[in-house]
């Protein structure tokens, strides 16, 4: 064999090299695509992370807490009083709020001072009614009120398909006392897909599957703090990491 000559075997190897390179690129691309799809699926249907930006849920949740929210829990049970939920703010749906469920559909709610009464039959004689037990509620500013009028109302009934929610930090919370009831969602005549702040409406035979055309306003139930950063001191709140949300 003369110097510099190329055998047939060498030629075959050179021909296969671009194929192997293309195959490797394709495998990486497919792996990345699958990972992205799985991440989107988990975020949309299983669990989603949120950060607490305000003190309206103190002391249950502090500014800088990073929480996990279950997206599927309400497939298996109804919303219960006391649940801490993340939802689309009714007046600006691009904003996410987090509050505690106080009133369920059909409940008659009465807010008086620091107490909440559910289905009290003698609103004129509150000493005959038992207030809702709320060990999570705090009143840090004695002169504060809800973030908007009225801070107190006459008894009101929560409409069907709606909820009444309040922040745990009762004197510093823009909640149902201000903007009213949280509607669970709306039945549409088409399929609505949401990607973060983007909405895509698609024609769909909703008569065959009405659940697919339900636009839920409730993102899910908060269940755990996975990270907490105290921006005032620039330090981690180690004791809060991994704690459940009650």
Q: Which residues are identified as catalytic? A: 56, 99
CA angle 234, 89, 107 (to 5 degrees): 115
Look up residue 50 and give its two tokens: 């949120």
> 207 and 187 in contact (C-beta within 8 Å)?
no
Strand partners, 187: 214
- CA atoms within a 13 Å half-sphere pointing along the CA-CB vector of 196: 2
Residue 8 is inside which H or E element, if any?
A: helix 8-45
Residues 6 or more apart in contact with residue 239 via CB below 8 angstroms: none
Residues 6 or more apart in contact with residue 207 via CB below 8 angstroms: none
Q: What is the DSSP pairing of strand 162-166 with strand 96-103?
A: antiparallel
> 99 and 175 in contact (C-beta within 8 Å)?
yes
> 103 and 158 in contact (C-beta within 8 Å)?
yes
Look up residue 112 and give its two tokens: 């008086």
What is the number of other CB atoms lying within 10 angstroms of the CB of residue 59?
12
């Amino acid at each position: 064999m003369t110097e510099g000559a190329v055998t047939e075997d060498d030629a075959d190897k050179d021909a296969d090299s671009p194929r192997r390179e293309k195959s490797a690129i394709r495998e990486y691309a497919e792996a990345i695509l699958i990972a992205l799809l799985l991440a989107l699926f988990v975020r949309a249907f299983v669990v989603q992370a949120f950060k607490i930006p305000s003190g309206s849920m103190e002391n249950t949740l502090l500014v800088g807490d990073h929480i996990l929210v279950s997206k599927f829990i309400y497939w298996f049970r109804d919303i219960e009083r006391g649940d801490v939920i993340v939802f689309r703010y009714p007046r600006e749906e691009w904003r996410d709020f987090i509050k505690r469920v106080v009133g369920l559909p059909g409940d008659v709610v009465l807010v008086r001072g620091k107490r909440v009464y559910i289905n009290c039959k003698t609103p004129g004689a509150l000493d005959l009614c038992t207030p809702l037990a709320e060990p999570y509620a705090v009143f840090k500013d004695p002169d504060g009120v809800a973030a908007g009028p009225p801070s107190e109302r006459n008894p009101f009934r929560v409409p069907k398909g709606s909820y009444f929610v309040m922040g745990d930090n009762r004197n510093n919370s823009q909640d149902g006392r201000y903007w009213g009831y949280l509607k669970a969602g709306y039945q549409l005549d088409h399929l609505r897909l949401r990607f973060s702040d983007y909405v895509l409406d698609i024609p769909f035979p909703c008569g065959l599957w009405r659940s697919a055309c339900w636009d839920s306003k409730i993102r899910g139930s908060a269940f755990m703090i996975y990270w907490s950063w105290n921006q005032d001191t620039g330090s981690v709140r180690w004791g809060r990491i991994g704690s459940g949300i009650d």
